[in-house]
């Protein structure tokens, strides 16, 4: 093979990124699950013959960034490339080898050229149901959370392995959707493979080795240059989450060195008996995302750029939990990790970074009808059965030079379902969905505001919420003198408090209030521009009381 | 005296005009755009009148109509320079416009700033009222609260009022009553009701669209009255029409009422012209691309109908109305080439714009651009830019590329220029491929229509990279949008959400909704004198029960009433379309209708286009010389043709260059081209001319 020019290599790189974007697009288009389609809860990437990720599509969820990058290595350990045949496809949803819980399914497809695999395509989507209890917190072992498919051959030289598919379908509540998602993953990888071969034809390539080496060298150089622009040193930070039965303390130590960044979670608490534990792959994904989005956001994700940020957590800690711990709600702690890492980086001289965000999403999962609410059977006899879910969020932390985003998620990028759609498919009525005054952490730059949802049954029947909410006792903290955002809260309209985690009933005739946390503030609130305080006051984002006592505002 | 039809498109740099008369004679002009867009419009008309040897007022007096594409709405929204808006909404829901369903433009940017509020919270007032999804009133409208809210807005100096209540698409009574109160108390206010602007489910989409309408409406209205009165002063006695985002035109009066529909008024003309060109050239499936100074617009036309989307964001606001699906990337003649910190060459998205513009413009720009690279490679003739109206400085182009690209990368100037062109071609091809595959198509099945001043140079390479076999460079490529203004029909798009399972449909009620929509649309079109005939297109947004996204399926009935038979056929089409778009279908799964759509097309007389007889194949009479062009590092001496002298039937084998007014066409090695009966340049791509 003749050598490629520098520009040709660079064009090949951007073509490879376009190929995985197309793979991801095929997946978004064909997937059944709402979260894939509406929220971009998926990932797609291409890997070299050694299982190293060369390019990844930019999609909605940082949780898949690094975890999926690692997964192809696990597949190759189980099925060495030499044992693969053209037309094979492999699958797993092992939380420890994939992306952290059973609902995420990873599919890997080898691409053959001249009789040997030259690349692999991998893709992940989140499926709504994978069997098991279907509750967010209560499981005590992973076995209760649904079906675990070990790394297996899903398609054997072009023929679907029907017994495996039947086994999976028999263990889930919506087998049609699950089959659909599996076919969609297979088709997405196939699209990627076809485009890759076309590209290799066009450039007369037999292997991707040369272009992969170029991508790795460039990415590593750019990442290292960005890291070396920062002073070397070591910084520690911690954050406390509500947990379930007791608070959970997470500790990170971040070191910046000549050849990369190391993040270690020594000092972090041990595992929880409830399903908020985190497999290491997911810890690595969110921790490295937290560093990368600050230090080198422009460098594309691949094995080399990700390798410059190394993550470790003590074996057996809640961030590196051992089997068979329950892990289905691993996102609660996982989504706190970017803020924890940013908390370390904020101590680096010269880096001015946002305050803490509400971080973990607030998935509003409501259920009703017989058998789905803890209430006397008689009162539920004629209640309409339903399950609805929508992902909501509190506010983000204030930026060093701008206010935070209100009621918008960070680090997740999930969109929520309109009230009108939810009401059209279930017997609920939303009476309020608006900002909570004073919930944005005070600061020279104000944190994004949290929101309150006020929800009732339209049939005046009892209904239930599957709560998996955090930051109720430990609100997002401010930075550089900024104050904390408002804490999250669950309460009934008569003042009865509920807890942040677990399945809970709302009695007939009562309304449920969900108050989501606000983001932390940045800088001393007394130094906030007076005209902006006046505006916040006029807009009811800040109360007169807070303007006076917290911001020291006496009028313009 | 000849009767002219005139289309005028105002772009960022130039105001383009195309005029066609009843004999099929065509005139085109380009004049600089002006801060007050009406100046550019008048200048263009004056120039045309001058070229025709007529006095402007005499010419205007004989003009039956002007169709105009304007960026007034777009600029107002992008520059946040709109009306002082107030919003009256359901109590407890005044922040929807800012919640944006938690959408972020950049998922991974922890420094992303909040959007600029086009209606600040103090002007968003909730009132007690609530309707459920069936239209039942849960809480009656509290008129005292409405009055208090209006008084508050009035005191704040609000001049434009948006009204959006939950489920108003099922039961608009509360919005209508509120509007009456607003009219009573603020008779001069601009009003925007969600039940009129977008009577569809999904509150964020509806409120955002309604508020944007209130924000840009007064600006658009003022501009159109200003333009119209200036035209009248100069003697114009005909009618002024505006092209809308859905590709149809409407009288200025009607357009001003729903100004949010004019956000794509500019680029819509080009896509419409693409369909027209498809009809002329016998291509039903086309990708139109428009490459100007700063951006590259891509749109798909299937079966001569431009693809439409309801998923648009403009700036940071969501517009859920049906608009032509035009995808824009930052790649144009002015796109700047630069070497990033990792030592990699990048092109765009930053642009040198038209001022100072590319280095070769000699207006003080020092950054190398795509145009500079084209000059260095010989693809562009420095002495024939805009038909020779502007002379480019090749030495400045060489110098900029040498200093900022060649030296940092250790390349020769020609190699560097060719790298810049390869990269920008690759960026454009990647985007085009994604736009096409997103709709479930392979670009190879389409013809590529290349418009805009810079389109003709790059189209051949685009086609190679996309596997496309035919490129069409229209005779009016540099003023393509203005051509579209001349050929677009009138069009009103109506929609109404009315949720029902298909197997439980009440045909009576269903037909009634369609009839109401049609009556409303006909009423709006009834005043439009230029309509020759009407066409009604009905479609349904449908999905499998439980799905969160819909497919818009045309109903194939030509009669007024829709029957079970029509719907069975529509259901069948739904399954097929669902499979094409999403790769699966399930005929056993119940299907639900969400939104009913109706397009009323007012068909106007097509301008006459004269097809010429094919003459000689030999293009030699149009040959104006030879020059070296770098299709590779080593230059090739290629023939250069004067596009103005090429005749229908002329055949040219690549490599060659065609220079014509406002654009240059590169015929690459292995490509061949034919001048068609209308003067369009049809390039056929040889097989195997690929990268590598």
Whole-number pLDDT of residue A3: 64
CA distance A401 to chain B (A): 9
pLDDT band at B608 (very low <50, low <70, confident <90, very high): confident
- The residue of B124, B155, B342, B550 whose CB has the most chain A CBs within 10 angstroms, and thus the best one to mutate to test that interface, is B342
Q: How far apart are CA B259 and CA B262, in angstroms?
A: 5
Determine the residue of chain B that is closest to A455 in CA distance: B92
Give the CA count within 13 Å in the CB-facing half-sphere of B122. 15
Percentage, residues of chain B above pLDDT 70: 99
Judge: A58–B107 Cβ closer than 8 Å, yes or no: yes
As a whole number, the mean pLDDT across chain B is 92
Residue B310 phi, psi (nearest 5): -115, 20
A406 → closest Cβ in B98, B419, B549: B98
Judge: A18–B114 Cβ closer than 8 Å, yes or no: no
pLDDT band at B270 (very low <50, low <70, confident <90, very high): very high
- B129 or A179: which leads in pLDDT: B129
The per-residue pLDDT for range A277-315, each reduced to its tens digit, is 999 999 999 999 999 999 999 899 999 999 999 999 999
Judge: B101–A415 Cβ closer than 8 Å, yes or no: yes
**DSSP classification of residue B403:** I
In terms of Cα–Cα distance, which of B138, B3, B145, B136 is closest to B62? B3
Determine the residue of chain B that is closest to A535 in CA distance: B122
CB atoms near residue A36 (< 10 Å): 27
pLDDT band at B389 (very low <50, low <70, confident <90, very high): confident
Using only the alpha carbons of chain B, give its radius of gyration: 26
A311 found inside a domain: no
CB B373 within 8 Å of CB B414: no
Residues in A closer than 8 angstroms to B102, CB to CB, are 391-393, 407-409, 414-416
Judge: B548–A540 Cβ closer than 8 Å, yes or no: no
Indicate if the pLDDT at residue A41 is higher than 80.
no
Q: How far apart are CA B272 and CA B306, in angstroms?
A: 7
CB atoms near residue B33 (< 10 Å): 22
Judge: B204–A405 Cβ closer than 8 Å, yes or no: no
B102 → closest Cβ in A294, A415, A423: A415
CB atoms near residue B388 (< 10 Å): 11
**Six-digit token pair at B284?**
């039903």
Whole-number pLDDT of residue B278: 94
Please state which CATH class domain B489-604 belongs to.
alpha beta
Q: Please check whether residue B203 touches A, CB under 8 A.
A: yes
The per-residue pLDDT for range A405-443, each reduced to its tens digit, is 999 999 987 788 899 989 998 999 999 999 999 999 999
Q: What is the CATH T-level fold of the domain B80-217, as seen in this structure? A: Rossmann fold (3.40.50)
Q: For residue A109, give its domain range.
A: 6-219
In terms of Cα–Cα distance, which of B500, B513, B489, B485 is closest to B590? B500
CA distance A164 to chain B (A): 21
Q: How far apart are CA A74 and CA B148, in angstroms?
A: 65
- A318 or B689: which leads in pLDDT: A318
The per-residue b/e assignment along B321-337, b for 16 or more CB within 10 angstroms, e otherwise, is: bbbbbbbebbbbbbbbb
CB B119 within 8 Å of CB B77: no
**DSSP classification of residue A170:** H
Judge: A420–B690 Cβ closer than 8 Å, yes or no: no
For residues A493, A496, A500 and A504, what is the CA-based torsion angle, rounded to 10 degrees? -90
Whole-number pLDDT of residue B687: 59
What residues contact B512, with CB distance under 8 A and at least 6 apart?
none
The per-residue pLDDT for range A10-28, each reduced to its tens digit, is 889 989 999 999 888 888 8
Q: A219, A253, A281 — which closes off a domain?
A: A219
**Six-digit token pair at B209?**
């669209």
Q: Is B207 helix (H, G, I), strand (E, B) or coil?
A: helix
B167 → closest Cβ in A297, A403, A420: A420
Residues in A closer than 8 angstroms to B311, CB to CB, are none
Give the mean pLDDT of B575-581.
Answer: 86
**Six-digit token pair at A403?**
């206010």
Whole-number pLDDT of residue A39: 65
CA distance B92 to chain A (A): 4
Residues in A closer than 8 angstroms to B130, CB to CB, are 429, 431
B95 → closest Cβ in A297, A429, A434: A434
Q: Is B273 helix (H, G, I), strand (E, B) or coil?
A: helix
B548 → closest Cβ in A37, A407, A429: A37
CB atoms near residue B532 (< 10 Å): 10
A30 → closest Cβ in B103, B433, B583: B583
Give the CA count within 13 Å in the CB-facing half-sphere of B689. 21
- The residue of B90, B105, B106, B110 whose CB has the most chain A CBs within 10 angstroms, and thus the best one to mutate to test that interface, is B110
Count residue pairs from A and B with Cβ separation < 8 A.
197
Judge: A405–B581 Cβ closer than 8 Å, yes or no: no
For residues B447, B452, B453 and B459, what is the CA-based torsion angle, rounded to 10 degrees? -20
- Listed in order, the ranges of chain B carrying CATH 3.30.1490 are 489-604
Give strand pairing partners of B237.
none
Whole-number pLDDT of residue A482: 98
Determine the residue of chain B that is closest to A399 in CA distance: B111
Give the mean pLDDT of A352-362.
Answer: 95
ipTM of the complex: 0.93
CATH code for the structural domain at B4-76+222-262: 3.30.420.40
A22 found inside a domain: yes
- The residue of B93, B96, B104 whose CB has the most chain A CBs within 10 angstroms, and thus the best one to mutate to test that interface, is B104
Judge: B95–A435 Cβ closer than 8 Å, yes or no: yes
Give strand pairing partners of B534.
B602
**Six-digit token pair at A533?**
């305080």
Q: Please check whether residue B645 touches A, CB under 8 A.
A: no
A302 found inside a domain: no
CA distance B550 to chain A (A): 12
Whole-number pLDDT of residue A107: 96
Residues in B closer than 8 angstroms to A21, CB to CB, are 430, 434
Q: Please check whether residue B94 touches A, CB under 8 A.
A: yes
Give the total number of structural domains in chain A.
2
- The residue of B94, B102, B133, B373 whose CB has the most chain A CBs within 10 angstroms, and thus the best one to mutate to test that interface, is B102
A178 found inside a domain: yes
Whole-number pLDDT of residue A276: 97
Q: How far apart are CA A235 and CA A237, in angstroms?
A: 7
CA distance A371 to chain B (A): 21
> Global pTM?
0.93
In terms of Cα–Cα distance, which of B584, B544, B328 is closest to A29? B584
- B136 or B607: which leads in pLDDT: B136
- B394 or B438: which leads in pLDDT: B394
**Six-digit token pair at A456?**
């009732």
Give strand pairing partners of A503.
A466
The per-residue b/e assignment along A213-245, b for 16 or more CB within 10 angstroms, e otherwise, is: ebbbebbbbbbbebbeebeeeeeebebebbbbe
What residues contact B639, with CB distance under 8 A and at least 6 apart?
B623, B625, B626, B652, B656, B657
The per-residue pLDDT for range B257-267, each reduced to its tens digit, is 899 999 999 89
What residues contact B504, with CB distance under 8 A and at least 6 apart?
none
What are the DSSP E strand ranges found in A369-500?
Answer: 386-392, 428-435, 451-457, 463-468, 489-492
Long-range contacts of B668-672 (CB under 8 A, 24+ apart): B668/B460, B668/B461, B668/B464, B668/B631, B669/B631, B669/B636, B671/B460
Percentage, residues of chain A above pLDDT 70: 98
Judge: B581–A29 Cβ closer than 8 Å, yes or no: yes
Residues belonging to chain A: 556
To which H or E segment does residue B290 belong? strand B286-291
A320 found inside a domain: no
Whole-number pLDDT of residue A1: 37
Q: How far apart are CA B25 and CA A377, in angstroms?
A: 82
Residues in A closer than 8 angstroms to B93, CB to CB, are 419, 432-434
- Tokens 């969600």 belong to B194
Q: How far apart are CA B561 and CA B549, in angstroms?
A: 27
B132 → closest Cβ in A391, A399, A429: A429
Residues in B closer than 8 angstroms to A23, CB to CB, are none
Q: Is A402 helix (H, G, I), strand (E, B) or coil?
A: strand
In terms of Cα–Cα distance, which of B628, B347, B616, B609 is closest to B487? B609
Q: Please check whether residue B109 touches A, CB under 8 A.
A: yes
Judge: A418–B201 Cβ closer than 8 Å, yes or no: yes
Residues in B closer than 8 angstroms to A7, CB to CB, are 345, 419, 422-423
What residues contact B18, with CB distance under 8 A and at least 6 apart?
B6, B7, B26, B27, B28, B476, B479, B482, B483, B485, B486
Q: Please check whether residue B558 touches A, CB under 8 A.
A: no
Judge: B100–A58 Cβ closer than 8 Å, yes or no: no
In terms of Cα–Cα distance, which of B297, B371, B293, B292 is closest to B329? B297
Judge: B110–A410 Cβ closer than 8 Å, yes or no: yes
A439 found inside a domain: yes
CB A325 within 8 Å of CB A277: yes
B434 → closest Cβ in A18, A38, A391: A18
- Listed in order, the ranges of chain B carrying CATH 3.40.50 are 80-217
Whole-number pLDDT of residue A38: 64
CB atoms near residue B1 (< 10 Å): 9
A232 found inside a domain: no
- Tokens 């007014």 belong to B661
Residue A459 phi, psi (nearest 5): -100, 5
Residues in B closer than 8 angstroms to A183, CB to CB, are 583-584
B107 → closest Cβ in A403, A413, A430: A413
Whole-number pLDDT of residue B445: 94
- Tokens 């006029």 belong to A538
Q: How far apart are CA A78 and CA A98, in angstroms?
A: 13
Residues in A closer than 8 angstroms to B463, CB to CB, are none
Q: How far apart are CA B211 and CA B204, in angstroms?
A: 10
Residue A532 phi, psi (nearest 5): -75, -30
Residues in B closer than 8 angstroms to A62, CB to CB, are 107-108
Pairing of strands B286-291, B296-302: antiparallel
CB B314 within 8 Å of CB B105: no
A227 found inside a domain: no
Cis-peptide, bond into residue B675, ω within 30° of zero: no
């Amino acid at each position: 093979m003749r050598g490629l020019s520098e520009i040709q290599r660079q064009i090949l790189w951007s073509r490879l990124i376009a190929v995985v974007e197309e793979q991801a697009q095929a997946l978004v288009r064909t997937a059944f699950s709402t979260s894939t389609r509406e929220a971009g809860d998926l990932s797609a990437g291409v890997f070299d013959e050694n299982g190293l990720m060369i390019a990844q599509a930019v999609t909605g969820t940082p949780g898949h960034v690094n975890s999926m990058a690692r997964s192809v290595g696990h597949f190759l350990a189980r099925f060495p490339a030499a044992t693969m045949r053209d037309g094979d496809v492999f699958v797993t949803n092992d939380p420890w080898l994939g992306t952290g819980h059973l609902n995420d399914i990873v599919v890997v497809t080898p691409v053959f050229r001249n009789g040997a695999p030259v690349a692999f395509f991998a893709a992940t989507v989140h499926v709504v149901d994978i069997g098991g209890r279907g509750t967010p917190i209560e499981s005590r072992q992973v076995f209760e959370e649904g079906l675990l498919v070990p790394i297996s051959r899903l398609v054997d030289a072009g023929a679907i392995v029907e017994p495996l598919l039947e086994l999976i379908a028999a263990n889930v509540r919506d087998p049609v959707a699950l089959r659909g998602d599996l076919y969609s993953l297979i088709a997405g990888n196939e699209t990627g493979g076809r485009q890759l071969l076309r590209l290799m034809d066009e450039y007369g390539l037999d292997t991707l080795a040369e272009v992969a080496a170029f991508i790795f060298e460039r990415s590593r150089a750019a990442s290292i240059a960005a890291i070396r622009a920062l002073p070397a040193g070591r910084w520690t930070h911690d954050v406390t989450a509500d947990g379930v039965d007791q608070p959970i303390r997470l500790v990170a130590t971040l070191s910046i060195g000549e050849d990369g960044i190391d993040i270690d979670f020594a000092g972090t608490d041990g595992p929880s008996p409830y399903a908020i534990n985190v497999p290491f792959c997911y810890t690595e994904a969110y921790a490295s995302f937290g560093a990368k989005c600050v230090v080198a956001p422009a460098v594309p994700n691949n094995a080399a750029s990700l390798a410059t940020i190394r993550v470790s957590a003590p074996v057996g800690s809640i961030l590196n939990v051992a089997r068979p711990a329950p892990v289905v709600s691993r996102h609660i702690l996982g989504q706190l990790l970017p803020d924890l890492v940013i908390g370390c980086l904020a101590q680096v001289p010269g880096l001015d970074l946002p305050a803490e965000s509400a971080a973990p999403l607030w998935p509003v999962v409501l259920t009703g009808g017989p058998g789905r609410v803890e209430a006397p059977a008689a009162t539920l006899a004629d209640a309409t059965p339903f399950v609805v879910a929508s992902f909501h969020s509190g506010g983000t932390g204030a930026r060093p030079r701008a206010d935070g985003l209100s009621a918008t998620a960070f680090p997740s990028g999930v969109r929520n379902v309109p009230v009108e759609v939810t009401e059209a498919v279930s017997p609920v009525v939303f009476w309020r969905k608006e900002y909570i005054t004073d919930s944005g952490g005070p600061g020279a730059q104000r944190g994004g505001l949290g929101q309150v949802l006020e929800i009732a049954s339209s049939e005046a029947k009892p209904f239930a919420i599957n709560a998996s909410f955090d930051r109720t006792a430990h609100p997002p903290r401010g930075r550089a003198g900024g104050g904390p955002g408002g804490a999250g809260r669950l309460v009934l309209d008569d003042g009865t408090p509920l807890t942040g985690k677990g399945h809970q009933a709302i009695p007939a005739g009562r309304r449920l209030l969900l108050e989501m946390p606000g983001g932390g503030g940045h800088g001393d609130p007394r130094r906030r521009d007076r005209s902006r305080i006046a505006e916040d006051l006029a807009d009811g984002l800040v109360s007169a009381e807070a303007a006076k006592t917290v911001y020291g505002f006496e009028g313009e | 005296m000849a009767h002219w039809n005139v289309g005028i498109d105002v772009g960022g740099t130039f105001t383009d005009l195309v005029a066609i008369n009843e004999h099929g004679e065509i005139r085109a002009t380009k004049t600089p755009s002006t801060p007050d867009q009406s100046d550019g419009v008048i200048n263009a008309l004056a120039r045309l009148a001058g070229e025709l040897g007529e006095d402007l007022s005499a010419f205007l007096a004989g003009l039956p109509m002007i169709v105009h594409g304007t960026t007034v709405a777009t600029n107002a929204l992008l520059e946040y320079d709109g009306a002082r808006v107030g919003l009256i909404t359901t109590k407890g829901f005044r922040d929807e416009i800012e919640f944006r369903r938690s959408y972020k433009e950049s998922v991974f940017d922890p420094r992303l700033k909040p959007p600029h509020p086009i209606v600040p919270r103090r002007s968003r007032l909730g009132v007690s009222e609530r309707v459920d999804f069936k239209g039942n009133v849960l809480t009656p409208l509290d008129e005292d609260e409405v009055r208090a809210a209006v008084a508050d807005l009035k005191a704040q100096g609000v001049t434009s009022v948006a009204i959006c209540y939950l489920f108003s698409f099922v039961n608009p009574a509360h919005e209508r009553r509120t509007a009456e109160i607003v009219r009573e108390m603020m008779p001069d206010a601009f009003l925007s009701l969600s039940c009129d602007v977008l009577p569809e489910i999904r509150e964020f989409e509806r409120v955002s669209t309604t508020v944007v309408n209130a924000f840009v409406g007064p600006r658009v209205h003022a501009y159109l009255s200003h333009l119209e009165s200036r035209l009248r002063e100069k003697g114009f006695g005909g009618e002024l029409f505006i092209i809308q985002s859905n590709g149809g035109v409407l009288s200025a009066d009607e357009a001003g009422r729903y100004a949010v529909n004019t956000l794509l008024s500019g680029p819509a003309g080009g896509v419409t012209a693409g369909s027209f060109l498809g009809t002329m050239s016998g291509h039903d499936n086309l990708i139109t691309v428009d490459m100007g100074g700063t951006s590259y617009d891509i749109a798909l036309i299937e079966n001569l109908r431009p693809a439409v989307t309801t998923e648009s964001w403009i700036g940071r606001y969501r517009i859920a109305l049906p608009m032509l699906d035009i995808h824009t990337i930052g790649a144009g003649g002015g796109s700047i080439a630069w070497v990033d910190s990792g030592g990699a060459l990048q092109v765009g998205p930053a642009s040198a714009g038209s001022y100072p513009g590319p280095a070769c413009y000699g207006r003080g720009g020092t950054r190398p651009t795509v145009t500079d690279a084209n000059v260095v490679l010989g693809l562009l003739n420095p002495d024939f830019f805009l038909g020779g109206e502007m002379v480019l400085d090749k030495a400045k182009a060489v110098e900029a590329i040498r200093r900022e690209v060649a030296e940092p990368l250790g390349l020769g100037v020609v190699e560097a220029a060719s790298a810049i062109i390869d990269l920008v071609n690759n960026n454009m091809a990647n985007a085009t491929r994604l736009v096409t595959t997103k709709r479930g198509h392979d670009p190879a099945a389409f013809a590529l229509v290349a418009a805009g001043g810079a389109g003709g140079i790059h189209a051949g390479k685009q086609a190679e990279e996309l596997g496309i076999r035919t490129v069409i460079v229209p005779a009016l490529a540099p003023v393509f949008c203005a051509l579209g203004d001349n050929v677009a029909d009138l069009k009103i798009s109506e929609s109404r959400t009315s949720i029902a399972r298909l197997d439980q449909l009440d045909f009576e009620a269903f037909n009634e909704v369609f009839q109401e929509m049609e009556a409303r649309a006909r009423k709006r079109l009834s005043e439009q004198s230029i309509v020759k005939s009407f066409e009604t297109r009905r479609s349904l947004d449908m999905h499998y029960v439980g799905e969160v996204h819909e497919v818009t399926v045309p109903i194939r009935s030509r009669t007024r009433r829709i029957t079970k038979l029509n719907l069975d056929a529509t259901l069948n089409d739904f399954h097929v379309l669902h499979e094409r778009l999403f790769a699966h279908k399930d005929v056993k799964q119940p299907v639900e209708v969400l939104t009913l759509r109706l397009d009323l097309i007012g068909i106007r007389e097509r301008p006459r286009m004269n097809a010429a007889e094919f003459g000689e194949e030999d293009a030699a009479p149009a040959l104006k010389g030879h020059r070296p062009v770098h299709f590779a590092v080593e230059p090739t001496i290629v023939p250069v043709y004067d596009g103005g002298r090429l005749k229908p039937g002329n055949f040219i084998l690549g490599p060659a260059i065609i220079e014509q007014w406002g654009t240059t066409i590169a015929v690459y090695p292995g490509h061949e081209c034919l001048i068609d009966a209308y003067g369009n340049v049809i390039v056929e791509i040889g097989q195997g001319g690929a990268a590598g």
